Structure 1
Amino acid sequence: MDSDLQPQHAPGLRKRLAELTREINAVEEQLAALDGDAQLELRQPRTFQPVHSPSTPAEKVALFLELFATRRSVFPQRWENARTGKDGYSPVCDNEWHPGI
C-alpha cells in the first residue's frame, strides 16, 4: 500500500473505483454478446438450510434433487457398513468404475 495515501484521497479513489466498475460491466456485456448464451455475471453462492434428522424424506429428496439437478449422471446409492451398523446414501456417477475414468 502506498505510504503517501491520505484521507483526502478517498473521494478520488471512490470515483476511480466507480469508473473501473463501469468499465468491467461494459467488458462483461461485450463478452456476453460474443459468447451468446454464456452467463458472465458474478453469482452469489446459494445458501441452503441444513438437513436435520427431523427433516422428512421428501425434504431430503428435494434437497438432493436441487443440489444435483443439472447432473443427470449423478444419483443416490444406498450403503451399509456391517462393522459399525451405519447406513445412508451417497451421490455416485453412472460411469463409476469404468476403465479410463
Structure 2
Amino acid sequence: FHLLEFPRRGFPPQFGQIIATTRNPDEDKEITAMEVAKMALKGESFMLIVGLGRHGLPKEIFKLAKYHLDITDGRRVSLETCTAIGAIPVKIRTLMEALKWTAGKMT
C-alpha cells in the first residue's frame, strides 16, 4: 500500500499501464477483466485505480488512464468501494487461474 500526491504529469512508468476502474468506461479505453488477466500472465505491469465514495475517481484520472475497466463485465453496476477493492483483484486472479488451467488442458 503506497500513498502518493496526485501526479499532474502522469504516474511514474514503473507502475505500468494505468487502469481506471469505473462502471462507465469510455468506449475507446474500455478493457475487460479477461484482457487484464492476460496482461498479468504475460508479465505486464499495470496499476488499478479505484475511486472512493459516491463521486468516484477525479476526471483527471480518466484522462491519464490508458484503460477503463468495468469489473462487472458490461453490466455497469456500481459497487461500494470496499466491495470493489476486494472484487477486482479476486476476479482478475480467478481469470488468470482459469487461463492457466485451460492452457494446461490443451497441451
Whether these two folds match at TM > 0.5 is no
- Structure 1 length as normaliser, TM-score? 0.21
Which of the pair has more CA radius of gyration? Answer: 1
- Structure 2 length as normaliser, TM-score? 0.20
